């Protein structure tokens, strides 16, 4: 398994005077945008959505479209740019006390690059190059995370939601891809088969929007409580 080379890598300690950092993880269509929108109302929270617009326009190139149209050709290019743009979010200096990020450099490697490696869409040589960058970033940049919120969905629900939101680039993604990404999130966040940098809070994201805001409220209480504890520690 390609991920085995990352299992025993430790994260360098960095100063603690930084925002309480929460990353929101989950499959495509798991409801991350809805979750982030809920937290936009709080003045102490800086919300960083996944930089999809950058992936759609890298000096005029739609790398997201290229990835889904020809994964074997474009996976290395796309994931290299993903790694860069998400690293920019990790290292962004903010003045608010809580940083809420959609996905992280960890899920980019442990779920999406891993899926490409297991299915043969990216070769071992390319994975090795990305791992060198990944390990360098963990050693030299503050990638510390305080909490992971896992929006857990069944692949079928995520697939149907993705079709309904009708992003042009995503219409060709097969259900099997959603199953692969779901299984890798489970391996990473539930079974801890490889590097998990923070405690995990699991939310049942299959719930209808009429009731899921109650789950978001519970999550809000935990985030603000833990952030307060961090400040007074």
The backbone torsions φ and ψ at residue 24, rounded to the nearest 5 degrees and listed phi first, read: -105, 120
Closest by Cα among 149, 147, 152 to 204: 152
Q: Which helix (H) or strand (E) holds 81?
A: helix 71-91
24 CB-contact burial (10 Å; exposed 0-12 / middle 13-18 / buried 19+): buried
User: To the nearest 5 percent, what fractions of the chain are helix, strand and coil?
Assistant: 55, 10, 30
CB atoms closer than 10 angstroms to residue 102: 21
pLDDT tens for 122-176 read 999 999 999 999 999 999 999 999 999 999 999 999 999 999 988 888 888 999 9
* Beta bridge partner(s), residue 25: 150
Q: Which residues pair with 151 in a beta bridge?
A: 26, 203
Neighbours of 108 (CB within 10 A): 19
Domains of the chain, start order: 17-232 (3.40.50.300)
- Which regions of the chain are under pLDDT 70? 1-16, 232-233
Active site residues: 102
> Phi/psi at 104 (nearest 5 deg)?
-150, 170
**What local confidence, expressed as pLDDT, does residue 168 receive?**
86
Q: Is the dihedral of CA 87, 89, 92, 97 positive or negative?
A: negative
Rounded Cα gap, residues 95 and 102, in angstroms: 18
For 176-221, give the DSSP string. HHHHHHHHHHIIIIIS--S---S-EEEEETTS-HHHHHHHHHHHHH
Question: Do residues 159 and 206 lie in contact, with contact meaning Cβ atoms separated by under 8 Å?
Answer: no
pLDDT on residue 116: 96
pTM recorded for the entire structure: 0.91
């Amino acid at each position: 398994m390609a991920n085995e080379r990352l299992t025993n890598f430790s994260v360098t300690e960095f100063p603690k005077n930084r925002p309480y950092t929460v990353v929101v993880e989950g499959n495509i269509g798991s409801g991350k945008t809805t979750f982030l929108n809920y937290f936009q109302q709080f003045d102490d929270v800086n919300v960083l959505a996944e930089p999809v617009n950058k992936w759609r326009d890298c000096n005029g190139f739609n790398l997201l479209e290229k990835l889904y149209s020809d994964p074997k050709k474009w996976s290395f290019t796309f994931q290299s740019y993903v790694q860069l743009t998400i690293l920019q979010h990790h290292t962004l200096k903010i003045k608010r006390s809580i940083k809420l990020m959609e996905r992280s450099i960890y899920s980019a490697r442990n779920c999406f690059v891993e899926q490409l490696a297991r299915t043969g869409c990216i070769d071992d040589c390319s994975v090795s190059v990305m791992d060198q960058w990944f390990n360098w970033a963990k050693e030299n940049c503050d990638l510390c995370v305080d909490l992971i919120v896992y929006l857990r969905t069944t692949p079928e629900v995520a697939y149907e939601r993705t079709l309904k939101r009708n992003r042009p680039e995503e219409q060709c993604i097969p259900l099997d891809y959603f199953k692969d990404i779901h299984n890798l999130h489970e391996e990473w966040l539930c079974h801890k088969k490889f590097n998990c940098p923070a405690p995990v809070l699991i939310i049942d994201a299959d719930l209808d929007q009429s009731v899921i805001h109650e789950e978001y409220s519970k999550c809000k209480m935990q985030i603000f409580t833990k952030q307060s504890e961090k400040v007074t520690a």
